[in-house]
Structure 1
Amino acid sequence: MASAPILISADEINCLIHAYLQDSGFQHSAYAIRNEGRLDHSPHFTKHIPRGELVDLLSKALLYMEVEAHHAGNTLTANCKTGFSLLNLHVCSLDASVTPSVNLSIPTPVPAPLENELMSAKGTVQKRRSPMPALEDTRSEKRQRRDVEDQSSFVDSTNLASNYLSAKKDDSRATPSEVAADVIMNDHSVKKRKPSRSPALIDDEVDSGAIQLLHAHKTEVFVCAWNPAQPELLASGSKDAIVHLWNMSEPIPDEVDTSPTGDNPLTLAYSTNGTQADLTSLDWNRDGTLLAIGSYDSVLRVCTSSGKLYFSNDKHQGPIFSTRFSPTGRWLLTASLDGTACIWDIKEKKLFSQSKRHGDCCLDVDWLDDETFASCGADKMIHLFGLGVDEPIKTFQGHESEINQIKFDPSGTLLASCSDDRSTRIWNVYPVLSRNRTLVTPEPLILEGHKGAVSGIGWCPKTVEGKRTLLATSSFDHTARLWDAVSGACLQVFTNHKRPIYTLTWSPDGRWLSTGGGDGWLHVYDPHERKKVWSWRSETQKRGIFEIDWQQSGDVDRIALALESKKVGIIDISKIPALQRTMR
């Protein structure tokens, strides 16, 4: 009986490429192929495409190419030193020190079902997180990106074909998935699956009750945010457009990995009309009564702390990357891939104004005060606006690539920006906003040193009188840096991460600096002593840490983590001995 034909459509390929571009952080490229390929009308566009699926399928294709190239009759070439790649023609280079061929008990050519078996094998390649050069992502306000370096290093296919056929011979009853798994376990040239481990690596001195993992999300958790007025309330959002509101008022149980002991989280699930709706941003207003939700489905939603939808609007024509309440909560600012920044009147529940000054995607926004804000974009521009005024007060230029993030310093006189051009710039906005028109705007302070795109920036929330003003940056070069924001000197390079850093956050009192990355590590640094003081790692197959939110309120001192493992992490800082020292 003939096997069913293999069907591959251009539409399916476009959907795979779209998912790959998003996972890699190429948001405007993904936006372009989505529109030019009319993917919103594709029956495949609403299907869930696992992260890394395109790379996974291409890796399996390379395995089949090796079987084709090295199999001849009843022998299999075993001493080839040349690897296989997607774009280079394979030419065998034989190693004389290795037995040149292996006799197989299968006298006929490779069986026809082999391709289907290889393609259906589960877990052949370990998945990784971007997003994001993100997702994924992408961490700036962009969706976290995947580690591009990992995309080219999943599988070393040397001898993999021979192991596959040997395993098939030894256990003819094994399923294709089991055989493929055995191949990975037995081939020392391939990254092996690790045995089951405890769900986290923590310091032996740490109270086991210091770490809690909350289970409710069904997909990767991208964002999380503590309520500023109700310390027990935590919001988290995931890839499937679900927002959970957690009541964290009860004591943390004495287990490392457990479900919350209080009530189940309140789940907010809004209709997304079948489109992609990854959540990109959560922001509470100052009073903690309203939560702004940014999403890939281009719809702005604002809900109450009790979970009721306050209002929604679909004015944006592209994914919303950033939502920011003004300091008083009177206004809400949003940034979108459609190139616009919108101001929303919260009391009236309607659009107040829309800025269309960016020539490309608008990637981030930030408020200076209730009357002044800034926006940045992929057009390499930063615009400073006054409320209700269409013309920018000032446009800052100088970056050579798209600008990922902007943040005003606590004093309101400086604006930091970071870019894919590997630099961070500090702009003095005081002369621009001063009534003294004789003041000249100085050139920006340029901070250089990162070897990859700078994805995140963070000002130290509090500066001790007589001490330096500190700025921290994180990059896809796997490092974080600490800078003197006045002189521009790099004070320290932190090199503990092994994968891109997705998120960077200071403790509210300025005592600690924390980073999270694609390697699953959370590192906490003492910025004053310039050293790492504590670390924790998510020991799951999907390890990425996409966002950190640090809460300090009264006696409460804890961290919330948005995790690729579909969990929300809670770390009680009061139970971490290494973090109990007073700041010098």
Structure 2
Amino acid sequence: MPVSATTTPPSSDEINYLIARYLDESGFTHSYYSFAQESRIAAKGFQGSHILPGALINLLHKGLLYLEVEHHTNLDGSERKCDVPFRVAEPHTCGLSEPAELRPLKRPRKDDAAAAPAAKKRDKKGAQADKGAERTEKTERGDRREKGEKIEKGEKLDERVLERAGKSGKGGREKVSADVLEPGFDSKQAETKMISKLYHTSPILRSAWNGSKTDTLATGAEDGSLRVWRVPSMPRNLPASAAPVLSLPDHLKPDSGVATVTISAMEWAPNGEQLAAATTDGRVLLRNSSGEFVDCVRHHNAAIYTLAWSTGSTLFATGSHDHTVVIWQADNGVMRRTFDFHLGPVMTIDWHNEDTLATGSADSKIFIFQFGEITPLKEFSHMGEINKVVWDPTKKYLASCSDDRETRIWDFVTGKQWSAKGHTDSVQTCEWSPGKRKLLVTGSADHTARLWDVKDVVEDSSSSSNASARGKALDCLHSISSHGAPVTSVAFSHTGRYLATASLDGRVNVWLAARLAKVAAPGFSDKQKESMALVRWYQAESGSGDFLEAQVRWSAESEQLAISHGTTTVAILNMSDARPGASAAQ
């Protein structure tokens, strides 16, 4: 194959960069630092955001395959027969191993297993030898039968194999599954283990994992239908079980003049016993843990934008375009209280405990309500519409993000506030890390997501005597700039190990959160740091519905990520098989 005129051999600096990346990705921190300093790669200004983790191994593997093909091609273009393993560190001599008819069968024949050994006279020593051989043969057959059963259950080996010499030195061939291949190996079989897909007949707008029954996922669509799925924690062994479509009962069909009822918000109760789903015509649908219809309640006279459960699962709240917040009794759907202090649509709600909640509105106000009180307990404000409010795991601090390009953190007790500035457009969403280290991630319409260090919030709050003073600005640990459209959803996994960011361009990235939060070595750019933290990515097709919003939701206990993007498909990424540089694209 002719080499392009623009193709040049890699420079020593480029090779050094790949080696440094390999050392860092493999956990050789000291070796990585020493090598990076001696090779001075930080001064070279490499922009390696397009290079996926595992690039060095992937390139070596591809180069080795090319050399193997080149070595086994005759001058006339015919293939040279050879099944001796081709290794990078050993001289290669072509040859053939044992003839096929002499190789052991992969699985035992039925007639061989049923055949009885011929009876014949033998002396005592010979009988013992025959018994030992028979015992060995049965053991080998049992092992082969067990392997055969595993293959029948779906644990098939990848059809593309690596051939290597057997330990006995007889040149035997051995198939290697995709699980043990080097990082970056592009295998269709490996991709099927990473991802499964769930389907509706209408664009899917919302998904929600059951926090108690962690293999249960609910999905809500633009046509008002719901489905409740059983998603196994290891989808390579069992597929997601088929779920019936849960449509609205006939007596609850849309009012005249309304074309359809869209699921606009949906959440499971913390105890996992009930599912509440809200619609664009102001209804709230209650279903049990199996998805069966329980009740339909209605008090809002406009679209519901947000829904949240109290920590004890006894109450839930809805916020609507009609400027009101309604508190509902979970067991019977009775309306308990209405708050109408907001002057604009209520966009977000998060509960502090069983009777206190925070709400944010397009009127730029944040109110903290207590169920039995007439007036709000606290009032905070931004300079723009509030897009989200969320309590930290300790329930002491409230984070809020706004169209004013700012994210703020509020101390619930003292009212003190801290600011996170840096986005150049509306901040769409924010989430706290569940780990011991206080981290906050924000997603913005400026196509970026930012990771903030909130450790100083606790230190300032406990040491400062001036409760009304503004705290100092938060430190931005990293700005993710690899998306090509507004970032509308961010989420940490339940352990805090992974961070998922989703954009309207259909791209979902999964990062190692600790690596993004880590202070980069001097001289390394954010692009280089970002390329080292990327674990997996997924590219969805363009949405076809009237509502376009990317959403990512992690399972409460397993490392599974549900991705919806306004299409008829929800993708489930399984991170238990994650390898650096793996990807899945629709």
- Short-chain TM bin: 0.5 to 0.7
- CA–CA distance in 2 between the matches of 1:266 and 1:210? 24
Tell me the equivalent position of 2:243: 265
- CA–CA distance in 1 between the matches of 2:210 and 2:286? 14
Q: Is 1:551 matched with 2:563?
A: no
Tell me the equivalent position of 1:314: 298
Tell me the equivalent position of 1:97: none
Q: Is 1:391 matched with 2:349?
A: no
What's the offset of the Cα at 1:217? 1.1
Tell me the equivalent position of 1:290: 274
What's the offset of the Cα at 1:203? 5.3
Amino acid at match of 1:565: T
1:375-398 alpha-carbon deviations (Å, 9 max, x no partner): 11011100111112221011112x
Tell me the equivalent position of 1:510: 496
Tell me the equivalent position of 2:95: none
Amino acid at match of 1:492: H
Amino acid at match of 1:321: Y
Percent identity (aligned)? 26
Tell me the equivalent position of 2:475: 489
Asked if the contact 1:521–1:545 (Cα under 8 Å) also holds between the matched residues in 2, the reply is no
Match of residue 449, structure 1, among 422, 426, 431 = 422
- CA–CA distance in 1 between the matches of 2:287 and 2:440? 33
- CA–CA distance in 1 between the matches of 2:398 and 2:244? 37
What's the offset of the Cα at 1:538? 2.6
1:318-352 alpha-carbon deviations (Å, 9 max, x no partner): 11111111111011111111101111011232000
Tell me the equivalent position of 1:569: 571
Q: Aligned in 2, Cα 1:262/1:213: closer, same or farther, shift over 3 Å?
A: closer
- TM-score normalised by the chain length of structure 2: 0.58
* Matches for 1:58-457 after TM superposition, within 5 Å: 204=185, 207-249=190-232, 252-253=235-236, 261-270=239-248, 271-273=253-255, 274-397=258-381, 399-431=382-414, 441-442=415-416, 444-457=417-430
- CA–CA distance in 2 between the matches of 1:410 and 1:497? 28
What's the offset of the Cα at 1:278? 2.3
1:427-460 alpha-carbon deviations (Å, 9 max, x no partner): 11123xxxxxxxxx32x21211111110000001
Q: Aligned in 2, Cα 1:505/1:250: closer, same or farther, shift over 3 Å?
A: closer
- RMSD (Å) for aligned C-alpha atoms: 2.2
Gaps of 5+ in 2: 1-182, 458-472, 517-529
Which of the pair has more CA radius of gyration? Answer: 2
What's the offset of the Cα at 1:215? 4.4
**Secondary structure at 1:430's aligned position in 2?**
coil
- CA–CA distance in 2 between the matches of 1:562 and 1:354? 32
Tell me the equivalent position of 2:440: 471
Amino acid at match of 2:480: F
**Secondary structure at 1:219's aligned position in 2?**
coil
Q: Aligned in 2, Cα 1:288/1:470: closer, same or farther, shift over 3 Å?
A: same
Amino acid at match of 2:511: Y
What's the offset of the Cα at 1:512? 1.5
What's the offset of the Cα at 1:526? 2.2
- CA–CA distance in 1 between the matches of 2:312 and 2:444? 32
Q: Aligned in 2, Cα 1:276/1:405: closer, same or farther, shift over 3 Å?
A: farther
- CA–CA distance in 2 between the matches of 1:347 and 1:377? 28
- CA–CA distance in 2 between the matches of 1:413 and 1:429? 6
- CA–CA distance in 1 between the matches of 2:575 and 2:282? 36
Amino acid at match of 2:535: W
Asked if the contact 2:306–2:319 (Cα under 8 Å) also holds between the matched residues in 1, the reply is yes
**Secondary structure at 1:528's aligned position in 2?**
helix
- CA–CA distance in 1 between the matches of 2:346 and 2:301? 12
- TM-score normalised by the chain length of structure 1: 0.58
- CA–CA distance in 1 between the matches of 2:239 and 2:393? 37
Asked if the contact 1:241–1:279 (Cα under 8 Å) also holds between the matched residues in 2, the reply is yes
Asked if the contact 1:534–1:579 (Cα under 8 Å) also holds between the matched residues in 2, the reply is yes
1:11-62 alpha-carbon deviations (Å, 9 max, x no partner): xxxxxxxxxxxxxxxxxxxxxxxxxxxxxxxxxxxxxxxxxxxxxxxxxxxx
- CA–CA distance in 2 between the matches of 1:293 and 1:390? 27
What's the offset of the Cα at 1:216? 2.9
Q: Aligned in 2, Cα 1:358/1:394: closer, same or farther, shift over 3 Å?
A: same
Q: Aligned in 2, Cα 1:510/1:262: closer, same or farther, shift over 3 Å?
A: closer
**Secondary structure at 2:496's aligned position in 1?**
coil
Asked if the contact 1:366–1:373 (Cα under 8 Å) also holds between the matched residues in 2, the reply is yes
Larger helix share, 1 or 2 = 2
* Matches for 1:516-531 after TM superposition, within 5 Å: 516-530=502-516, 531=530
**Secondary structure at 2:580's aligned position in 1?**
helix
- CA–CA distance in 1 between the matches of 2:534 and 2:402? 29
Q: Aligned in 2, Cα 1:266/1:250: closer, same or farther, shift over 3 Å?
A: farther
Asked if the contact 1:221–1:546 (Cα under 8 Å) also holds between the matched residues in 2, the reply is no
What's the offset of the Cα at 1:210? 2.9
Asked if the contact 2:369–2:375 (Cα under 8 Å) also holds between the matched residues in 1, the reply is yes
Asked if the contact 2:184–2:580 (Cα under 8 Å) also holds between the matched residues in 1, the reply is no
- CA–CA distance in 2 between the matches of 1:550 and 1:316? 30
**Secondary structure at 2:254's aligned position in 1?**
coil
- CA–CA distance in 2 between the matches of 1:502 and 1:249? 27
Tell me the equivalent position of 1:21: none
**Secondary structure at 2:267's aligned position in 1?**
strand
Q: Is 1:459 matched with 2:432?
A: yes
